[in-house]
């Protein structure tokens, strides 16, 4: 479908453009945003026209297999993307060892988000502990066709990168299995819980398909169980330096509770009123298109089969849950410098 080909306009979201963000944000988003609006309107009109002659059919799971079989099949298909579907809360979440783990994290990834239709609040909290630089970051917002949230923990033991014209700052590595922490969060929309997540992880995530939200409507209540009391209080000091008030966090031993509603740290420069308006409007149209196309089906498994058959482009987009590979394209420009350290 035309609307979903807009997502794959790689030239305007290539590494070159991502690395030129700081020079001209309007050039980065204007052309792609206008195209997305046009394609969104055209696709919506097409759906309305098609709906007049639409026939209601029985759920596809009655035809092709049981729900458990379909879930297993879907999760096998999602595995290369680094995610799995969980039917009890009707969400998608990241595996322990997805491809994203090898790419660590740096600020350029956050800067790429808005250009890729991810309008998300970022809250990077950095601090030093046991001879390492640490990053614990929280995210919440609209990831294309999903509303979602993330918590990640990363570290660095090397000097900051200084690559003229590309990136100056810290590159962080994902922690090992032994260094994962017990963490949990509840993602709320206008005060109502959308879903919860918990476990020992380095990157705890959750995404709800077809749910449209503005970042300001979302809040995250997170609990992080850090390595010891000293690490917890060091992290809390970093929260306070970032601007968190006493009613937004608490600490008990090695556990830190955080209420993340409005970010206190500087947001990516790609997050402007213009990009927020354009991208959120298009994300809403994508969610509406998905919900319209699948309105006759109660289960996500059924919905996805309908989308696979009637809109392969939409289905491909759905498979790219969370941050797509394009968000990490900057890594290829940093890799040689990272490897040398």
- Local mean pLDDT, 10-residue blocks, the chain (341 residues): 40 44 48 53 52 47 66 95 96 97 96 96 98 98 98 95 90 97 98 98 98 98 98 98 98 98 97 96 96 95 95 94 93 85 73
The percent helix, strand, coil of the chain (3-state, each to 5) is 45, 30, 25
Question: In the beta sheet, which residues pair with residue 189?
Answer: 192, 218
Task: Note the pTM of the prediction, 2 decimals.
Answer: 0.84
Predicted pLDDT at 21: 46
Question: What pLDDT, on a 0 to 100 scale, did the predictor assign at position 40?
Answer: 57
Contact at 8 Å (CB) between 151 and 185? yes
Concatenating the DSSP letter of every residue in 248-266 gives GEEEETTEEEEEESS--SP
Q: Which sign does the torsion angle of CA 39, 40, 44, 47 carry?
A: positive
Task: Yes or no: say if 170 and 132 are a contact pair by the CB < 8 Å rule.
Answer: no
pLDDT of residue 340: 80
d(CA 203, CA 45): 39
**Could you state, in order of their start, the residue ranges of all structural domains in the chain?**
2-52+94-340
Nearest to 262 by CA among 220, 204, 203: 220
Q: Which 8-state DSSP code applies to residue 56?
A: -
What does the pLDDT read at residue 33?
55
pLDDT of residue 18: 46
Helix (H) or strand (E) holding 290: helix 273-293
Across 42-179, where does the E strand assignment appear? 83-86, 91-94, 118-129, 132-143, 146-156, 161-163, 167-169, 173-174
pLDDT score of 38: 54
Q: What is the pLDDT of residue 37?
A: 52
């Amino acid at each position: 479908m035309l609307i979903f080909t807009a997502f794959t306009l790689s030239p305007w979201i290539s590494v070159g453009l991502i690395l030129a963000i700081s020079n001209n944000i309007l050039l980065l988003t204007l052309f792609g945003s206008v195209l997305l609006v046009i394609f969104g309107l055209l696709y919506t009109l097409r759906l309305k026209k098609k709906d007049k002659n639409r026939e209601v059919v029985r759920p596809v799971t009655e035809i092709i297999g049981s729900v458990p079989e379909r879930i297993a099949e879907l999760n096998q298909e999602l595995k290369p993307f680094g995610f799995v579907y969980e039917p009890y809360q009707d969400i998608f979440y990241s595996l322990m060892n997805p491809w994203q783990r090898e790419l660590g994290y740096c600020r350029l990834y956050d800067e790429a988000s808005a250009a890729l239709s991810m309008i998300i609040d970022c809250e990077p909290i950095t601090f030093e502990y046991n001879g390492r630089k640490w990053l614990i970051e929280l995210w919440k917002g609209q990831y294309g066709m999903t509303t979602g949230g993330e918590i990640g923990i990363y570290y660095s033991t090397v000097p900051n990168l200084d690559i003229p014209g590309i990136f100056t700052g810290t590159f962080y590595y994902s922690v090992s299995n032994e260094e994962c922490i017990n963490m949990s969060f509840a993602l709320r929309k206008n005060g109502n819980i959308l879903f919860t997540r918990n476990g020992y992880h380095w990157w705890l995530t959750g995404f709800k398909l077809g749910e449209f939200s503005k970042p300001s409507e979302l809040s995250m209540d997170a609990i992080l169980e850090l390595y010891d009391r000293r690490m917890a209080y060091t992290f809390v000091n970093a929260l306070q330096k970032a601007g968190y008030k006493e009613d937004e966090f608490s600490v008990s031993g090695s556990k830190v509770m955080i209420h993340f509603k409005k970010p206190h740290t500087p947001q990516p420069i790609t997050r402007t009123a213009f990009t927020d308006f354009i991208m959120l409007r298009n994300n809403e149209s994508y969610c509406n298109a998905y919900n319209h196309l699948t309105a006759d089906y109660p289960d996500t498994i059924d919905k996805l089969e309908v989308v696979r058959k009637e809109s392969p482009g939409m289905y491909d987009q759905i498979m790219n849950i969370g941050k797509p590979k394009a968000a990490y394209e900057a890594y290829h420009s940093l890799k040689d410098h990272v490897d040398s350290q």
